[in-house]
Amino acid sequence: MTSRDAQHPDYTDAPEYHLPAHHNPLPELDHVGPVKKVIPQDAFRRAQSAPDFIALKKAFRGFAFPMTAAFLIWYFAYVLLSVFARDFMATPVLGNINLGTIIGLLQFVSTFLITWLYIRHMNNKVDPIATKIREELEGASK
């Protein structure tokens, strides 16, 4: 038994027991980076009522809400078909591959498609507006 064990009998249960005594699992945060400029609160209030911010919200919500609803309907349709339309889902398509398997795999395809559409929409429609608003706010902090 080492002196560390004698000082802390339950220390051997700690996940960091095998590490040197001077080891601290969390680094000291003596330097967290450059000091950021403070943006006045009234600048945020003005930005929230600006036409650009309203357009930003509209662009985001116009994509996110309908796409979320469409995906949830598609997902729950698959689940409900799996539960209540077993014969339909068991319809053979190609050898031992049935309709349920194909629809299940299409769930993955649709997830990747939605992710790609989301990224494309954000890059083309939302990010330019957000960048403009951010730059205006950062300019207000000077």
Domain that holds residue 131: 41-140
pLDDT band at 43 (very low <50, low <70, confident <90, very high): confident
58-80 residue pLDDT tens: 999 999 999 999 999 999 999 99
In-domain check, residue 21: no
How many domains does the chain contain in total?
1
Within a domain: 1: no
Query: CA 107, CA 123: separation in Å to the nearest integer?
Result: 24
pLDDT average, residue stretch 99-123:
96
The answer to whether residue 9 sits within a structural domain is no
In a domain, 5, yes or no: no
CB 99 within 8 A of CB 93: yes
Classify residue 98: in a domain, yes or no.
yes
